[in-house]
Chains A and B, each alone.
Chain A
Amino acid sequence: MRLDLEGTSGTSRKKPGVRGSRIRPIGITRAASQMAMRCLAVLCLLGIPAVACAQSEPLDFDNIKPVPVFSAGVGFITAFQGGTPNLDPLVSPVILVPLGQNWLIESRDTFESDLAPPPDGIGYKGVLEKEVDYLQVDYIANPYLTVTVGRFLTPFGIFNERLYPIWIRDLQSDPLILPIATGPSGAQTGAMLRGGFSITPRVEMNYATYFSTLSTINRIDSDRDAGFRTGLFFPGPRVEIGGSFQHLLQDDHSNAFGFHFEWQPPSTSLDLRAEYARSHNGSGYWIEPAYKLTNAPIWRHELRHVQLVGRMQQFFTGTVVDDDLPVLNTNMFEFGMNYYFRDDIRFVSSYGRQFATGGNENVWTLGLTYRVALPLGHGDVQ
């Protein structure tokens, strides 16, 4: 029935054109009309191959000339810890400069401020903190090896290197064990060898091994140490398990080690991550499930932008006190909800309760995060 109706309407739309009754009254002869039709046909014959050629021409992916890229993570987080409000604006620009087919210069800096009420309680005050997160030169030597020189993020565990940017992390607070082996800056200055490759079609291996030199220069400080991280990734179930080790080559020559686990089931929007780390400064773990409500039974259109996050963590003090780690045994539970306006803009919120022998306190966070990425040149293939 529907086909009949469409056919009828199509015929009726063609009738005026076929008869030409609406063309002749304005003074155009039949010969002119035929000439116009021929010209149109010729143009179509000339144009169709050109369009078809343009659409079917494949990109040569091995020879795309990369262009420098500017990216940045921007955020404004309001945190209430123990009833004290803190305003944390943050900008973290990233510059990527590719050279040739195998080289890449990349850097990330962080500019942030922790604005808190002064003792007199009037207004908010703070200082602008600047940090060079990394400034490194990468050389992709072969499919199995990349050589990195400069200041790089310490490849210990998964949070520091993969999940730290403000627009990536699901909860805005740092895990308690983050400073173990990564220190306050999370970066080292030296050289690193790293890579990833398939062992079998079902197993991939990644590794990173590094040596860092002692640097006391402000904003690029680092310890003298050596370490490695390796992981096995199973693409089928999307599971990664791995371990990290670091040996300090100065002072007390201590060791630190850790394990990490990631699971993202292919059948749903769950992310489950966990880390354990131990050194003479302390030990602890965190477990963080995050679930995006893409398959909610109700209000699916609205809820598919919502992500629920939880994190449970424990920290146990070690034999040597570290200023960046809690000084007392601490347990913490956090629950958060994020709303993705787009893939690059989101509202973040969380509530946590920290339990320590010195006292308990609530930790609230509210904020907005944004990620921008721009090509510094023509992004399209010419």
Chain B
Amino acid sequence: MTARRYVTCGILTLAMALFLTAGALAGNDRSGTANAPATATTAAASGKQDEAALRIEGERRFRANCGRCHQAPHKFPPRMMATIIRHMRVRATLTDEDMRLILQYMTQ
């Protein structure tokens, strides 16, 4: 009886995971953010990106790194954010470039 219950719960979990994965592949609410970075990444490599491209790239880095663990917080004052980003550089092993772009994005 216990094993049957466990198997049932396991099947339900897998079904939910499949459902969510299907939703992930079908969803498009973040597609705008996902498509924009390709241009921004190229611009970053060439060192010629303008402020808007930096902001877009900063948002992408924020979502890719910070958003992996927690919800996006509201923005903080620059000096406070400089401390938080240093903390997150250590905690989340952010790269040097990630840190600069996220700091710029979160203080604008």
Contacts and interface: CB of A to CB of B under 8 A. Distances in A.
Interface of A: 59, 61-62, 64-69, 96, 98, 104, 106, 138, 140, 143, 146, 148, 161-163, 167-168, 194-198, 201, 204, 206-208, 233, 235, 238, 240, 262, 264-272, 287, 289, 291, 294-295, 310, 312, 331, 333, 335, 340, 342-344, 353, 355, 360, 371, 373, 375, 377-381
A381 B78 contact: yes
Interface string B31-74: 10110000001000100000000000000110110011111111
Contact of B24 (A67, A270, A375): A270
B49 to A, nearest CB: 14
Given A268-B26, A312-B14, 8 more contacts: A65-B79, A146-B90, A161-B91, A162-B69, A267-B25, A272-B17, A272-B20, A287-B17
Contacts of B69: 162-163, 168
B13 A238 contact: no
Contact of A272 (B21, B76, B93): B21
A379 B78 contact: yes
A289 B90 CA distance: 26
Contacts of B24: 265, 267-268, 270, 291
Contacts of B68: 162, 238, 240, 262, 264, 271
Contacts of A138: 86, 90
A65 B103 CA distance: 13
Nearest to B44: A201
A266 B30 contact: yes
B86 A61 contact: no
A375 B77 contact: yes
Contact of B77 (A194, A233, A355, A380): A380
A163 to B, nearest CB: 6
Contact of A96 (B5, B17, B34, B87): B87
Nearest to A377: B79
Nearest to A104: B86
13 contacts: A59-B78, A61-B103, A67-B79, A67-B83, A98-B83, A146-B89, A194-B93, A268-B27, A271-B68, A287-B13, A310-B13, A310-B16, A373-B73
A274 B62 CA distance: 22
A126 B81 CA distance: 38
A126 to B, nearest CB: 29
Q: Sort chain B's interface into a size bin.
A: 35 or more
Interface of B: 2, 5-6, 9-10, 12-14, 16-17, 20-21, 23-31, 33-34, 41, 45, 60-61, 63-64, 67-74, 76-80, 82-84, 86-87, 89-98, 100, 103-104, 107
Nearest to A139: B90
B84 A96 contact: yes
Nearest to B73: A343
Nearest to A238: B64
Please classify the interface of chain B as helix (H, G, I), strand (E, B), loop, or mixed, using the class held by over half of its residues. Answer: helix
Contacts of A377: 79
A233 to B, nearest CB: 8
Contacts of A333: 6, 9-10, 12-13
A268 B84 contact: no
B70 to A, nearest CB: 5
Contact of A64 (B2, B26, B63, B78): B78
Contact of A343 (B10, B74, B78, B79): B74
A143 B96 contact: yes
A66 B12 CA distance: 48
A240 B65 CA distance: 10
Contacts of B21: 270, 272, 289
Given A104-B86, A312-B9, A204 B79 contact: no
Given A64-B82, A68-B83, A207-B93, A269 B29 contact: yes
A380 B70 CA distance: 24
Nearest to A268: B27
Nearest to A352: B9
Contacts of A208: 93
A201 B39 CA distance: 13
Contact of B93 (A65, A66, A195): A195
Contact of A312 (B10, B73, B95, B97): B10
A235 B64 contact: yes
B76 A198 contact: no
